[in-house]
Structure 1
């Protein structure tokens, strides 16, 4: 591209120089020839005038007297009736410029100048025009190179930016070049880079959240399936298969919820549901794991609550809280339901050391963990709760009390009111 810009600029300059240069040479040549002709005629008129004057006064007319009246290098021949011709200077050979004038006394004056003088003047003019043309070409080359660099360097840089975007590096460069059209392209590329960065972040976040949220339910499902393979009792097989199918449905709901939140975290599908049913289901699902740890899960509080939310998402939040209690806590895991205002609250606590003071409210931040865990569970649980208009809070650090706040069903709230 740089070469094409330079060549096109030079082509334009050369065409302009050719058109105007030829015209200028023609005009200057004619001007020089006309000027030389006028100068010769002027000398002839002057000599005629001098000869007339001296003839009228009876004065002598000699070559010495007339030599100073014509330009150097020119030849003059004065013809006076009744006298021999009078010559001044050396007659030029070859092509000449001549002018013949007649006086009042019958005399004639012929002035000649060599055309080589005109040719030399024309040659000097051509050299000057050629030098100016060369300077113009040189200046055009320098300007063309500078302009080509100014245009090609940004284009190369924009191409590198586009290549970086294609290779998976979406960092915007925020470079501008002082050319409106190129700056517009840079704006579009930077905006695209930011969109791609957000998309990649969302995809990575979805992969991490899905990996974390599905790990424990899949383990529990695997345990159910193992129990089915170890028994021959059809009733137990049927019961375990029914529970496994329920877990599969909840896993499907969790995956759908994660996909929905990855596209738009504000999008919710909250519906009225039986909160007791979700709590009971989670207790039954986590009881085998708690027994294997020599611990217990108990429930207390107000029964018969109905809340507004996504049952699968609420179940996943409670599963995260119970899993954290079993993994990081100690003693009995207690689940308590209560009412505060127009909200239903589910509290999960245990008898462990709780959340360290240096973590505090940061426990809900991603990658923040008190032990060797991913730090994603509580962050994802909070996102799921907020997507349904609820909230997840740490009410107490020692012993730990996590509370899930959900809106109550309107008719239930009005009935109690």
Structure 2
């Protein structure tokens, strides 16, 4: 493309120079020739007037007198009836410019000038025109190269940007070139890059969230199946199978929740639910894991609380907090339910060392972890809480106290304090 732009510009310039240059040469040549002829004609008229005035005054007409009247580069011949012709200057032998005038008494004056002078003047003119044409060609080449670079360089950049997008690098360049059409293409590529970056981020986030949120129910389900495999008691098998089915339903709910959030993170399916059931479910799921670790998980606080939210999402938030205490905390883990204003609060605390001071303000950020964990669990838990109109906060760092706040529904029966169990 660069070569085509240069060649097309040069072709236009050469055509213009050929048309206008040739016309200028013809016009200048004729102008110079006419000017030379007019100068010779003028010389002949002036010389014939000198001869007539001397004849009328009976003055002598000699070569010396005429020599003063004739240009040194010209030849003059004066013919007077009854006298010998008088010649002044050297007569040219090549092509000549001639002018002849006849006086009232029959005298004849002929003035001649060599055509070589006209030829030299035309040559100088052609040289000037050629120099100007050469300068125009050089300028056109430089301009064509500059314009070609200005157009091809942005196209190369845009091609590289498109190639980067195709290779999986969605970083926008935000580079503009001062050409409206090219800047429009750059805008479209940058907006596409940002859209692809958002899509890739959403996909990676979905994969990370799915791996983390599915791990906990799968672990619990695996433990229930192990319990079934090692017992021969039909009642125990039936109980563990029922709990395993509950875990399967939770897995289904987790998958549906992940897909819903992937489509629109703001989409919620909040309903009024019994908070006691969700807390009881989590205690049953996690007690085997805590027994295996030689620890306990207990619950206390208000009973009969009804909250607004998604039961599956609330269960996932509590599971993330209980798992976090199992992995990073110590001693007994306590869940406590209480009421504050028009909200119900579920607090999760343990007897461990707590949250380090430098991580307190960033504990809910992704990839932030006190130990060698993924750092996703608490971030996902906060997203789930906010999607239902609630919030998840760290109330205290040492000992750690996490609190889940949910909207409260006025009780239909008397709320009672539950014993620690």
Q: Deviations over 1:147-201 (max 9, x none)?
A: 2222222222222222222222222323333333333333333333333323222
- Give the TM-score taking structure 1 as reference length: 0.92
User: Does 65-74 or 142-151 show the bigger shift?
Assistant: 65-74
CA deviation after TM superposition for structure 1 residue 247, in Å: 1.7
Q: Distance in 2 between matches of 1:347 and 1:149?
A: 66
Identify the residue that residue 219 of structure 1 maps to in structure 2: 219
Say if 1:342 and 1:413, in contact at 8 Å, map to a contact too.
no
Paired residues in the alignment total 415
User: Structure 1 residue 367 and structure 2 residue 370: aligned?
Assistant: no
Q: Distance in 1 between matches of 2:300 and 2:112?
A: 134
Q: Deviations over 1:108-156 (max 9, x none)?
A: 1122223232222212211111111001101111122122222222222
Q: Distance in 2 between matches of 1:139 and 1:174?
A: 33
User: Structure 1 residue 105 and structure 2 residue 109: aligned?
Assistant: no
User: Structure 1 residue 76 and structure 2 residue 76: aligned?
Assistant: yes
Q: Deviations over 1:392-413 (max 9, x none)?
A: 112222332211111123x648
Say if 1:317 and 1:385, in contact at 8 Å, map to a contact too.
yes
User: Does 291-300 or 315-324 show the bigger shift?
Assistant: 291-300
User: Structure 1 residue 5 and structure 2 residue 2: aligned?
Assistant: no
User: Structure 1 residue 38 and structure 2 residue 41: aligned?
Assistant: no
- For residue 357 of structure 2, give the secondary structure of its aligned residue in structure 1: coil
User: Does 370-379 or 162-171 show the bigger shift?
Assistant: 162-171
Identify the residue that residue 131 of structure 2 maps to in structure 1: 131
Q: Which runs of 5+ in 1 are unaligned?
A: none
User: Does 114-123 or 19-28 show the bigger shift?
Assistant: 114-123
Identify the residue that residue 333 of structure 1 maps to in structure 2: 333
User: Pairwise mapping of residues 41-56 of structure 1 onto structure 2 (< 5 A)?
Assistant: 41-56=41-56
Identify the residue that residue 191 of structure 2 maps to in structure 1: 191
Say if 2:273 and 2:311, in contact at 8 Å, map to a contact too.
yes
Q: Distance in 1 between matches of 2:413 and 2:60?
A: 144
Identify the residue that residue 20 of structure 2 maps to in structure 1: 20
Root-mean-square deviation (CA, aligned residues, Å) is: 2.3
- For residue 111 of structure 2, give the secondary structure of its aligned residue in structure 1: strand
Identify the residue that residue 277 of structure 2 maps to in structure 1: 277
Identify the residue that residue 259 of structure 2 maps to in structure 1: 259
- For residue 379 of structure 2, give the secondary structure of its aligned residue in structure 1: helix
Q: Distance in 1 between matches of 2:264 and 2:340?
A: 29
User: Does 200-209 or 318-327 show the bigger shift?
Assistant: 200-209
Q: Distance in 2 between matches of 1:414 and 1:9?
A: 90
Change (3 A) 1:129 1:415: farther
- Give the TM-score taking structure 2 as reference length: 0.91
Q: Which runs of 5+ in 2 are unaligned?
A: 416-421
- For residue 247 of structure 1, give the secondary structure of its aligned residue in structure 2: helix
